Amino acid sequence: MSGTTTATPEVVIRGGTVVDRTGERRGDVRVVDGWVVEVAEDLAVPAGATVLDAGGCLVAPGLVDLHTHLREPGREEAETVESGTRAAALGGYTAVVAMPNTDPPLDSAESVRNVFALAEGAMAEVAVAGAITVGRSGERLAPMAELAALGVRLFTDDGDGVQSAGLMRRALQYATGLGVILGQHCEDRSLAAGGTMHEGAWSSRLGLPGMPSEAEEVMVARDIALSRATGGRVHFLHLSTAGSIDLVRRARADGVPVTAEVAPHHFTLTDGCTKGYDPVFKVNPPLRPQTDVDAVKAALADGTADAIATDHAPHAPELKDLPFDQAPPGMLGLQTAFALAVTELDLPLARLLALLSWQPAVIAGLDPDHGGAHGGPVAPGAAANLCVVDPAATWTVDPTALASRSRNTPYAGRTLTGRVRHTVLAGEPVVIDAEAQR
Partner 1 sequence: MTGFPTHLLSMDDLDGDAIGDVLRVTDSFAEVGRRANPKVPALRGRTVATLFFEDSTRTRMSFETAAKRMSADVLSFSAGSSSVKKGESLRDTIETIQAIGMDAVIIRHSSSGVPARVAEWVDHCAVINAGDGWHQHPTQALLDLYTVRQSLGGGQEGLDRFDGLRVTIVGDIRHSRVARSQITAYAALGAEVTLVAPATLLPPSLEGWPIAGVRHDLDGVLATTDVVSLLRLQAERGSGAYVPTMREYSAGYSLTARRAMQLPPEAIILHPGPMVRGVEIASEVAELPSARITDQVGNGVAVRMAVLFLLLGQGTLEGDAA
User: Under the criterion CB under 8 A, does residue 325 sit at the interface with partner 1?
Assistant: yes
Nearer to partner 1, 137 or 326 (CB): 326
Instruction: Tell me the window of 23-31, 163-171, 206-214, 335-343 that interacts with partner 1 (CB under 8 A).
Output: 206-214
CA–CA gap between residue 91 and residue 436 (Å, rounded): 10
How many Cα atoms sit within 13 Å of 248 on the Cβ side?
34
Least spacing, CB of residue 193 vs partner 1, in Å: 10
User: Under the criterion CB under 8 A, does residue 290 sit at the interface with partner 1?
Assistant: no
Q: Pick from 199, 216, 261, 344 the residue near partner 1 by CB under 8 A.
A: 199
User: Under the criterion CB under 8 A, does residue 291 sit at the interface with partner 1?
Assistant: no
CA–CA gap between residue 285 and residue 289 (Å, rounded): 12
Within positions 379 to 398, which residues make up the interface with partner 1, using CB under 8 A?
Answer: none
Please check whether residue 142 is in contact with residue 116, taking contact to mean a CB–CB distance below 8 angstroms.
no
Known catalytic residues are 311
Least spacing, CB of residue 237 vs partner 1, in Å: 25
Please state at what angle helix 165-176 crosses helix 213-230, rounded to 10 degrees: 40
Q: Pick from 23, 166, 255, 276 the residue near partner 1 by CB under 8 A.
A: 276
Nearer to partner 1, 236 or 281 (CB): 281
Least spacing, CB of residue 203 vs partner 1, in Å: 7
User: Under the criterion CB under 8 A, does residue 316 sit at the interface with partner 1?
Assistant: no
For residues 210 to 229, the per-residue mask of contacts with partner 1, x marking binding by CB under 8 A and - elsewhere, is: x-x-----------------
Q: In terms of residues, how long is the chain?
A: 438
Give the β-pairing of 234-236 and 210-211.
unpaired
Could you tell me if residue 409 is left (phi over 0), alpha (psi between -120 and 50 degrees) or otherwise beta?
beta
Within positions 229 to 258, which residues make up the interface with partner 1, using CB under 8 A?
Answer: none
Phi, psi of 392 (to 5 degrees): -105, -15
CA–CA gap between residue 285 and residue 27 (Å, rounded): 41
User: Under the criterion CB under 8 A, does residue 149 sit at the interface with partner 1?
Assistant: no
Least spacing, CB of residue 239 vs partner 1, in Å: 21
84-121 residues labelled b (16+ CB within 10 A) or e (exposed): bbbbbbbbbbbbbbbbbbbeebbbbeebbebbeebbee
Nearer to partner 1, 289 or 391 (CB): 289
Q: Pick from 278, 347, 350, 428 the residue near partner 1 by CB under 8 A.
A: 278
User: Under the criterion CB under 8 A, does residue 326 sit at the interface with partner 1?
Assistant: yes
Other C-beta atoms closer than 10 Å to the C-beta of 207 total 8
Q: How is 168-195 classified by DSSP, letter by letter?
A: HHHHHHHHHTTT-EEEE----HHHHTT-
Instruction: Tell me the window of 157-165, 166-174, 193-201, 384-392 that interacts with partner 1 (CB under 8 A).
Output: 193-201
Give the residues lining the site for partner 1 (CB under 8 A).
199-201, 203-210, 212, 276-278, 318, 321-326
